[in-house]
Amino acid sequence: MSRSTLVLLLLFALTCAELSAALRLHSKQRCLCRSFNKAHLKNIQNWKVFHPSAFCDAFEIVGMLKNNRKQFCLDPSSRAWKTIMYAYRVSV
């Protein structure tokens, strides 16, 4: 084999290795919510429901508190989350 053929094969192998690493990174879940908080509905100013997608397979609710306008992820086991999801599913 000539030197240029070996260089091309090496370059091809490195490209394949980089692509496989990128695909492995892409397949991980990239959800917005990594930690969850519980909040009462009367303390939530507004919220947004995020549908499951290719990046995250769960419904997520990101809300904003009235008193300090902090954004947070609502805990799926909380009563507020269940109430919002019920109202959201009925309206859709």
pLDDT of 19 reads 67
The whole domain housing 60 covers: 31-91
Regarding whether 75 and 35 lie in a shared domain, the answer is yes
Regarding whether 20 and 63 lie in a shared domain, the answer is no
Regarding whether 11 and 35 lie in a shared domain, the answer is no
Regarding whether 65 and 82 lie in a shared domain, the answer is yes
CA proximity to 75, closest of 30, 29, 36, 31: 36
- The model's confidence at residue 92, banded by pLDDT at 50, 70 and 90, is low
- The model's confidence at residue 13, banded by pLDDT at 50, 70 and 90, is confident
Burial of 62 (0-12, 13-18, 19+ CB in 10 A): middle
Regarding whether 73 and 36 lie in a shared domain, the answer is yes
Read off the CATH number of the domain in which 74 is found. 2.40.50.40
Regarding whether 85 and 43 lie in a shared domain, the answer is yes
pLDDT per position as a tens digit, 20-57: 665 555 555 688 888 998 888 898 899 898 988 888 88
**Averaged pLDDT for residues 44-71:** 88
Regarding whether 58 and 24 lie in a shared domain, the answer is no
Does position 70 have pLDDT exceeding 80, yes or no? yes
Q: How high is the mean pLDDT of the chain?
A: 82
Q: Tally the domains of the chain.
A: 2
pTM of the model: 0.60
